[in-house]
Amino acid sequence: MMTTLSRRAILAFALTLPLPILPASAAANAAEQFVADNIQKGFELLNNKSLSPAQRRAQFEQFLLSIADMKRIAVFTLGNYRRTASPADLDAFYAAFQNYAVSVYQSYFAKYAGQTLKVTGSQERAPDDVIVRTQLIDPNDSSGQPPAEVDIRVRTDTGKPVVTDVAYAGVFLSLEERDQFTAFLGQNGGNIRSLITHLNELAKQYK
């Protein structure tokens, strides 16, 4: 069985491989424009000092839910456990996951307060599945270190572009979460309610 560490290593290596230079498709261009237009709004919200912390969180949550398919991400993170979960447990998990995910994404975005997002290209996995590559540009950074890279997965198979994953340092959050959640469920008899409680506790730590 592939370990989390080996999966990370393979993914990180794959992201460093040179991609063939091909003309950007309309789908890739649309995904890049979607990211350029929308993700920067998240930074602007978190950098808006005229808002109270509670107001920033509320507006960031509203923004995030408007561009990300949270239910789709939540289903993925449950792995095979979603097949045996009751509808009631799944609904409760979706709600807990959304609260947790908003806290996680806000925490990540807040780390880069004052920076701007620059789209540098994309990789089209399928006509409706594009990985948009970006860099976080810090206008006050004089260290000479390369900008932090963030990859954003955009899907359009539902009729409109939505974010379904974000990668930091080559590691996609949904893959990381699936590993963590399924490991937790494996240690707790597949009890979804225990995972829900765990996610609610984690969300409090991020706030």
Residue 17 resides in a domain:
no
Q: How far apart are CA 202 and CA 86, in angstroms?
A: 23
How high is the pLDDT of residue 24? 54
User: How many percent of the chain have pLDDT more than 70?
Assistant: 87
Q: Are 144 and 150 in contact (CB under 8 A)?
A: no
Residue 42 resides in a domain:
yes
Query: Quick count: other Cβ atoms within 10 Å of Cβ 41?
Result: 16
Q: How far apart are CA 133 and CA 154, in angstroms?
A: 11
Q: How far apart are CA 97 and CA 80, in angstroms?
A: 17
User: Minimal CA–CA distance to 28: which of 156, 139, 142?
Assistant: 156
pLDDT tens digits, the chain, 207 residues: what are they? 444 444 444 444 444 434 343 345 777 889 999 999 887 787 788 778 898 888 888 888 899 999 999 999 999 999 999 999 999 999 999 999 999 998 888 887 777 777 788 899 999 999 999 999 999 888 888 888 888 888 999 999 988 999 999 998 788 999 999 999 999 999 999 999 999 999 999 998 886
Residue 169 resides in a domain:
yes
Structural domain boundaries enclosing 99 = 24-206
How high is the pLDDT of residue 142? 81
- Tally the domains of the chain: 1
How high is the pLDDT of residue 19? 39
Contacts of 182 (CB under 8 A, 6+ apart): 78, 79, 80, 81
Residue 106 resides in a domain:
yes
Tens digits of residue pLDDT in 11-33: 444 444 343 433 457 778 899 99
Residue 155 resides in a domain:
yes
- CATH number of domain containing 52: 3.10.450.710
Largest CA distance in the chain: 53
Residue 97 resides in a domain:
yes
DSSP 44-86: HHHT-TTS-HHHHHHHHHHHHHHHB-HHHHHHHHTGGGGGTS-
Contacts of 81 (CB under 8 A, 6+ apart): 181, 182, 185, 190, 192
